[in-house]
Structure 1
Amino acid sequence: MLTVRRAGTDDDFGLVRQVRMAVIPYERAPSVAEMRASLTRDSLVLLVEDDGKLVGSGSADHSSITGAAVVTPRVLPEFRRQGVGTRVLSHLWAHAVTLGVGHVLAHTDDVGSRAFAERHGFTEVDRQVEQVRAIGAEPSPAQRGDVEVVTVAQRPDLWDTAYEVLGAQAFEDMALIAPMHASIDEWRTSWIGDPAAMFLAVEGGEPVALAGLIADHDNPHRAENALTVVRRDWRGRGVAAYLKRIALAHAAATGITEVYTWTQRGNADMRRLNEHLGYATRLESFTMRRSV
């Protein structure tokens, strides 16, 4: 018999993670500790089982997009088209509409998932583009004279400052359907990778740009680009490319063979920069929305 229950233990979250890795194997999966750290009082995380056999998972919470919630039903491929996704989504929707939001978002990475969302009243409102870079011999760029580059491992005191002077501008300027927000606590947990792989360009004692890598511990050969942002008054000076080249050199030096990044469809400048650095588009993710 199919059962839907709330995830509670570390073992439960390990199963949720297992579903994620099976459904979207091309993305880094947060660790159980990271998943727990991201929970809020409004978070709902579900496990779906059939006579004790893992079938799928689901989650619902406030979105980082202002005024919206986000739902994520996931079903293992061999159990699809049996009504499982619809049942999970019904639980998630019932929770999402209690969060005081005007819209509910969902993200789909293939045509079949998008069609499922459309059948349940969601419409496409945006797309995210995944770009991938194969890592070979990656020389470090020549040192610039106008900024000093430090890692967060070297200057952990600058990470909170980076939230104030870089993160806030990045969130305001992202080419999304509505403004997004991340709290300082989220910045300290979800937006940082290995501090030794997070690079800050500093001028006058203050960060003016950020780039880095977030390792995939399940696939050590692969890493995701962390947030790349340049302070508004420093844009157009090549600092983003400079830091990203440093990150690529770090990837090569640490045995990483693939780096990938997600960029908003509306952020043509960043996509062009990535293409200039040798990234190629692999797929698109569809942002779907339904009014409450």
Structure 2
Amino acid sequence: MQRRTILTKSTAVLVGLMCSSMVRAQDLKPYLRARPLICAHRGWTSPAGTENSLTQMRQTHQAGPFMMEIDLAKTADGTIMLMHDREVDRVTTGHGLFSALTDARIATLRLRNGHGTPRDPVPTYDKVLQWAAATPDALLMLDIKDVSPHDALQPVQQRGLSERIVVLTFKKQQAREAFAADPKALISVLVTQPQDLEAYAGMAAGRQFAAYIPQNSPPSLFQAAHAKGAVIITDLLGPTAIMDAVSPSEGAHRAHFLPIDILVTNTPLKLRAALAHQL
């Protein structure tokens, strides 16, 4: 079957899921048939937006469908909220270490958009999960950073969202804890060489996992991960991750020739247009 036919059918699958008259929660698997599933890095449609903002995520979702990548961090009071940087200076109206600020202090801050304009409050993780639970086609990619897998995944399980998320891990111990924390969640592990696939396949013990493969890896590594049955994730991000280093057209070209299931980008609308151009 030619790639053009596959993409056309995948688009139909995705539209069908979005437009179904029976509004019900969907797990991740049907969306992966519309390969590649586009993931909006930090939940925005472009770096001009507001990262890790619930308002922005709602707008991105309406413009989608896209998966949302978000970053988790804990406040001084132990509340999980959305924040990428250790310090709040770059993205908010405040200053200092996020982990040193109380919930009350963070409530006074506003997230800045890409132009530096103050916009939205810093959202709690609970509010984001509440939105996702009420939005049947919302899909989340969790960069849990220093939040333990147990703490990140317990509220996911409580809201019945385990099969609609991907959990990013980048170290073996973190991955091991994530596998143990939720038997239904899709756990992503960093794969930079074929030996990593063997190690994580053993850790997963027959359970499907996701292989996050760096964008400049050889095609053989993508093929090896595909042969293992892994969900393959890669990205178009640049060194700072705020901008893409790979153009939408080149990203679409790579998705045409490589078995990429989820493609993370800062410009999901442009990537979607580039993928559609190949139809």
TM-score for the superposition, normalised by structure 2: 0.27
TM-score for the superposition, normalised by structure 1: 0.26
Larger Rg computed on CA atoms: 1
Select the structure that is richer in strand.
Answer: 1
